[in-house]
Amino acid sequence: MSLKKSIFYWITLQRRNWFGGFLKKVFRTVFHALENKNNDNQLSGEYAIWEDLKEQQIKVVFDVGANVGNWSKTISGVNNDCIVHAFEPVEETYQKLQENTKSNKLIKTNNLALSDKEETIEFNFYPKGSYFSSIYDNQLGKDAKKVSINCVKGDDYCLENGIENIDFLKIDTEGAEHKVLEGFTRMLSEKRIKIIQFEYGDMCIDSGFLLKDYFQLLEGYGFSIGKIYPKWVEFGKYEKSMENFVLSNFLAVEKSNRGLMNLFDK
């Protein structure tokens, strides 16, 4: 037996004792760090993107799944030339969003969800962690309150509000990111969305829409997709090993815009 196989065998035998548990925790922590599992927008690189965008013409921003509006406020502070359209469908959370952003006239709040069709649906709202609220059941389980929310298509919202282009579309909807994108078929087909940021994680198991599907969908519209890291965005082709369900954010940029891609992929 080779040395490598012997080491693997010995490690496997530790699985059911305390040392195996210790190894599992250590290596999981290291793996999550390397995959940039970080819910701090400053440390994860989500805000660093906006430092790179300071010289770009970013006029219209969508914050879909805005929660209480912290991301919207931060982005508006970095770029005070843009209008941020913030969407939060849960009434209780929306009231906090309004209160949090009321002094900023550049943030337009909307008490609705963007989805792939216009409808009213039942939604899982988690009062103890509103950022986990989703159309899917979450790990908070029994703490969910069932509420009704209104959904509209992004294309329809743009038509009704005279929005011709979106410079930055950020989507954080706990597993329903694909439904938001599917509501923008016209805007995407007509190349009216410049940059898209979307969240990927274990909620993709519930939705059945995998990272592979996001790559296929967005590449079909002419985008390149890259994973956000603290100081760069790593663009590339989809690989099965990427399908790890570790919470992270991805950026999609039009392939033809090499200058913008090079700006992020330092």
- How would you classify residue 244: left for phi > 0, otherwise alpha for psi between -120 and 50, otherwise beta? alpha
Question: DSSP assignment, residue 56?
Answer: S
Q: What are 197's strand-pairing partners?
A: 170, 251
Q: Which of 92-101, 150-159, 195-204, 256-265 has the lowest mean pLDDT?
A: 256-265
Residue 121 CA, chain-centre distance (Å), reads 21
Q: What is the pLDDT of residue 237?
A: 95
Residue 129 has pLDDT above 70, yes or no: no
Q: What are 149's strand-pairing partners?
A: 121
Residue 176 has pLDDT above 80, yes or no: yes
DSSP H or E stretch at residue 84: strand 83-87
pLDDT digit string, tens, across residues 32-86: 999 999 888 889 999 999 988 988 889 999 999 999 899 999 998 888 889 999 9
Residue 97 has pLDDT above 80, yes or no: yes
| Domains of the chain (ranges, CATH numbers) | 1-34 (no CATH), 40-264 (3.40.50.150)
Q: Enter the pTM of the model.
A: 0.92
Q: How far apart are CA 90 and CA 154, in angstroms?
A: 18
Q: Report the residue count for the chain.
A: 266
Q: How far apart are CA 175 and CA 190, in angstroms?
A: 25
CA 43-109-196 angle, 5° bins? 50
Q: What are 110's strand-pairing partners?
A: 87
Q: Which of 94, 178, 98 is nearest to 136 (CA)?
A: 178
Complete edge-to-edge strand list for the sheet that includes strand 113-115? 113-115, 145-153, 119-125
